[in-house]
Amino acid sequence: MPLKTPTIVIFDMDGTVVRHLSPWVLHVLERLDDAWYTAARLFRWFGRRRAQDPILPPPEEMPPRRKPRLLVHRAIHKVRRKEVDQIVEPCPGIYDVLELLKSEGIPVALISNGLGQGYGEDIVQKFGLDQYFSATVFREDIRKSKPDPEALLAALSHLQITPGQDDAIWYIGDRHKDITAALALESHIPAQIVPVAYGVNAAVEAVKKGIGPEHIIMSYYDMHARLEKLMNAAGRDKQNTRELDSPANSSALAPRPSTPAAKARK
């Protein structure tokens, strides 16, 4: 199925708009993202449980706990001590895509399940991304992480847009949970949802979900070319519609009154 020209675009941040210079940093952040989502589900389960018996034994009956390892905490601390541009860099070609969307007046939002607003805002400001994104959503703005679509709904809310049936919302992400979140959004709003898989991880999930290859991109140069093609085609369609609806064209198509000479020929 051919892609529909976007009217709203939402980007994931980590691994999609910016990429990490050190693979281990990205690995830590992704693990934190997974742990956050798993913990949130666990706490919701505890909240729903209404059993009479205690879930855990009394404190005096519990075995002594071993001191937890602090590798993750040390990794986070090490990340936070560095400047943003020592940790991440914009993905190649992303500015070209953002400039194109901006020139077309398409609203664009940015979401992240990463280290939160401080980390996210530092990236946005450092790389001049604030001129492209009309709304941002970070960890503090949501209760449920992806693959729940709450972050996407929050982005639409921050954009102050109520999507309709004529809207096409593109969501670009690099992980399997991004594809799942985009598909989950379909049941919440009437607009057409267009998941766009950026990179191998998301592409594998897109294939599993039966999403066509036109929804997969491996570089933003490819995405820029596709967007230009779609927008040029949409522009031609609008121009043709305007020409058909123009008064001059209507006059040309209207039946002309018969003249005396024409009546004589008949």
Residue 45 has pLDDT above 80, yes or no: no
Q: What is the pLDDT of residue 222?
A: 96
Category of 170 on φ-ψ map: left (φ > 0), alpha (ψ -120 to 50) or beta? beta
Distance from the first to the final alpha carbon of the chain:
53
CB 131 within 8 A of CB 103: no
Share of the chain above pLDDT 70, in %: 65
C-alpha R_g of the chain? 26
CB 125 within 8 A of CB 33: no
Average pLDDT score over residue span 168-188: 97
If one compares 22 and 187, the residue with the highest pLDDT of the two is 187
Residue-range domain boundaries for the chain: 8-243
> Residue 202 — pLDDT band, cuts 50, 70, 90?
very high
Pick the CATH number of 8-243 from 3.40.50.1000, 3.30.9.10, 3.40.640.10, 3.30.2350.10: 3.40.50.1000
Write the pLDDT tens digit of every residue in 66-112: 444 445 445 555 555 567 888 899 999 999 999 999 999 999 999 99
Query: Which token pair is 218?
Result: 């491996």
Category of 105 on φ-ψ map: left (φ > 0), alpha (ψ -120 to 50) or beta? left
Residue 229 has pLDDT above 70, yes or no: yes
> Residue 40 — pLDDT band, cuts 50, 70, 90?
low
